[in-house]
Structure 1
């Protein structure tokens, strides 16, 4: 444990590791930009992010100031992230599907000094300028000519003067790097996560929290590995578990702006990617393709599946995934539980001529060092397997009174750090929510789980009124609040049902129209498509005269859920 902690503390600050690799191997590829087919070396990225930091300091950015980013461009987001950190700023990515009320709320809650935004998204800022309490200065990124998102200068709409915009390219000219040294407790990022009973909350993450989130994952790799990333950088998995992890390892990360089931394997082959994260609906989409004798002719041997599907071995056997990892990862708590699975015997997965990077023996050695179980694929047959605690986390399953549950008894999954700064620092500007999350001196995840008599942990379900769709966790409250912007709606109730295609949720909305309003289901669908992010759009809509309520006037969503499931001929089981 002592040796592990020493190693952990020595590698605390991620941008220092980027600079160290730039000194050791300046010409090695760090970032491959799949959208622009460009290779960026450790040396270039280190120098370019020094310049970005220098210009941010020149523009008045001081340590601790928050800088937001609203961009679907993973390369630009990655460069901005490291540049912001080197200036002492706090990287605050925003979900780039946000617009209108969602975007205004996030900016008002974050109160950034600066906002990096893609040109294609500047009209969204113009639409909400009147709703912003303190409009930030804006840095505008213009895609180069020939790029799919290029906008001709003549077609660019001017931003309101209050934003005082500058050009992103101003930050990529030589400038002296500011003299800033980070410590483990300094804030690194604010990432927005779901609110179970209210608006989303900004999770304040210190550098140590990023360190622990990636610690095991990076130790499982070597410099010969290539990380594949198609997750957005407003997501902790994309920004930290993939892009930042490569900076720690000293290996390449190949980034694309979004997941494509049609192009996935072509991308893997193009860079010889050895590891990836596949979330929720991604594996069902890949499995839909007709089987081919070439399915296993790939370098992708090590995959993280979260949550772990029951058919994980079927997936692994088809595509030749030798090693699958899973666990429990969350914005607030990082990676607190982990399990490694050897899906197939040696030699039966990835062909020897395709294998590169960390070996099975390397995996076994690291797992033993961390105390992480390594199981065979056949032995992991219980749904929701998450493995065992990471070395710096204390884990408990607690009941509603805060007492430990017996083995097999379902309660709330809770974490407690063994060293300072391991978990998040709190919810930005929401001390009451922070205190509630840390009640009984444990961080409460909001997820139901149980531990068996062997000390292995299993996920059961989400607590509260949360939904999960397209890899996003969010609350029904947010969707309801947005639907109320449709003038014809008097009341609405939103809730999840088991997804038709995966373990994700399908969203159901029951709406009550205002008196004399001619509201149809088609009108609700059409409005949602125009105003809601795709992952928040209901799959099922019912227009009704009234909603069932309790004596205390709470909507009885369980009755509505049962009604829809009966209509669809479904069951409440997620099996």
Structure 2
């Protein structure tokens, strides 16, 4: 197992490469702005000096409401060199949830993109701790009770002979707020050791990543998908291409333009790419490795068509990466094998281990210090509940195979129980997606008339394609989907609700339930008999 070192934490890793090869490219924005390692190191000190003038010191919390960009990285590095804590805010938050995060963090400073400043304007009089707002990309603004600093005002002066430190593995690096789908958002306090451990574990055992690699990263900096994969590239002295939002139409042109060799994508992104019409030059690209989470059906065809190698993994905000597959074809819903630094168990509702082959909740604990969540900020009860019996409870159901492969079954809250049978929404969705007219889908539980659940599938069709609910049911029967898994309800939607990181918001689909545009299957015989359902 690789021994972790604070020298591999983001600020120290940048300084190391800056000393060895300052001109090496580090960050490339798709809009043309770029930064090499020497510039990143210098800007880190410059931002640290600016924050110090505002009174920032060890463990001061500073909010950031920024897109994935060079300024976001400079801000994080500058804070780290003072021992301060970055509190990135989900850029989709506004109104009460944004107010909650700002107030819960008790931060006095916010670094905000100009485009989102109006969200603060509506809350400004109710914010009890916030005193300074730094706007790095906009003109001066009046009318707020907080002090507003422009980029020039914030960065005035020169660090000169000031000295700054770099963090230890135990130092808090970030407070990352969850989406709060099951209650108030929780601030996950992560130490630098968590980012260093994940910078090793996120790389498949048989995959080499080095300073020659260029990673394509269209993910936000308020999420581990953006921050931990950035940490990989900084550790090895590689290059990162930042794009604010994933675009199916621009993906391959970006890959070719920036000579990207490795790319992260969630399964939906890979699915969108796979469902595009084939082109003669699909395989003519520099991409070597695609990390797909979760792995899509049709993995082999994806590898062949685009001439890439793929692997998958499993992790969470609280834990980082605990499972990774090897490069190559994986079994359906596989998340791979145990990575260094962790112990895993699959347990029943009483936290008792279950045998291989039986589903249960995955629970995890680290074998090294400072590599997972320190706490949920200011939520001791939630922290204690998550670590029941001294194991972190993921809320995910898995099956372990005899050879140690971990197969994802479902989220506990996404699982469906119908007529005494447990149904994996992920497994049903995979069957629906086999139909070539389907672009994406989500299976959710809706209340049954008597007890337990009924199954509803929400479907988005590919542009220009047609499919009726009876045809979809016929497809599932043809695919020999077990009768107990056949959805009673089908609804066609233009889009599925998603988080900024493209995760489907199933809680919203469950809350919608059976709508006036939902179709209901009678379930009689082998033919599909559907009637329009109101309600």
TM-score (norm 2): 0.77
Corresponding position of 1:225 = 213
Distance in 2, Cα, partners of 1:225 & 1:232 = 20
After TM superposition, which residue ranges in structure 1, 4 or more long, deviate above 6 angstroms? 465-468, 532-542, 556-559, 567-571
Structure 2 residue aligned with 1:205, among 181, 190, 193?
Answer: 190
* Structure 1: gaps spanning 5 or more residues: 144-152, 343-376, 469-475, 477-494, 503-524, 543-555
After superposition, the C-alpha distances for 1:40-95 in whole angstroms (9 at most, x for unaligned) are 11001100111100111121001101111112252221111111111211111111
| C-alpha distance 419-497 of structure 1, shift in aligned 2 (>3 A) | farther
Distance in 1, Cα, partners of 2:325 & 2:505 = 34
Corresponding position of 1:13 = 9
Distance in 2, Cα, partners of 1:13 & 1:450 = 34
Aligned 1:249-268 pairs, distance under 5 A: 249-268=236-255
Aligned 1:426-441 pairs, distance under 5 A: 426-441=375-390
Offset of residue 266 of structure 1:
1.0
Preserved contact between residue 181 and residue 507 of structure 2 (Cα < 8 Å):
no
Corresponding position of 2:459 = 500
Corresponding position of 2:477 = none
2:26 matched to 1:30? yes
2:443 matched to 1:448? no
Corresponding position of 1:274 = 261
Question: Please, which moves more after superposition, 205-214 or 189-198?
Answer: 189-198
Structure 2 residue aligned with 1:168, among 133, 136, 151?
Answer: 151
Distance in 2, Cα, partners of 1:194 & 1:11 = 32
Structure 1 residue aligned with 2:228, among 217, 226, 240?
Answer: 240
Distance in 2, Cα, partners of 1:205 & 1:541 = 28
Offset of residue 14 of structure 1:
2.1
Preserved contact between residue 68 and residue 112 of structure 1 (Cα < 8 Å):
yes
* Structure 2: gaps spanning 5 or more residues: 416-424, 427-443, 445-453, 462-492, 523-527, 531-535
Distance in 2, Cα, partners of 1:496 & 1:431 = 36
Preserved contact between residue 342 and residue 367 of structure 2 (Cα < 8 Å):
yes
How many residues in Structure 1 have an aligned counterpart in Structure 2?
451
Corresponding position of 2:326 = 340
Preserved contact between residue 57 and residue 178 of structure 1 (Cα < 8 Å):
no
Distance in 1, Cα, partners of 2:6 & 2:120 = 42
Distance in 2, Cα, partners of 1:159 & 1:457 = 55
Corresponding position of 1:566 = 520
SS of the counterpart of 2:312?
strand
| C-alpha distance 209-535 of structure 1, shift in aligned 2 (>3 A) | closer
TM-score (norm 1): 0.72
Distance in 2, Cα, partners of 1:275 & 1:537 = 24
Preserved contact between residue 266 and residue 502 of structure 2 (Cα < 8 Å):
no
Structure 2 residue aligned with 1:407, among 353, 356, 381?
Answer: 356
Distance in 2, Cα, partners of 1:78 & 1:19 = 14
Aligned 1:388-537 pairs, distance under 5 A: 388-464=337-413, 498-501=457-460
2:168 matched to 1:183? yes
Corresponding position of 2:294 = 307
Preserved contact between residue 236 and residue 331 of structure 1 (Cα < 8 Å):
yes
Corresponding position of 1:489 = none
Distance in 2, Cα, partners of 1:89 & 1:336 = 27
Distance in 2, Cα, partners of 1:428 & 1:570 = 52
| C-alpha distance 533-295 of structure 1, shift in aligned 2 (>3 A) | closer
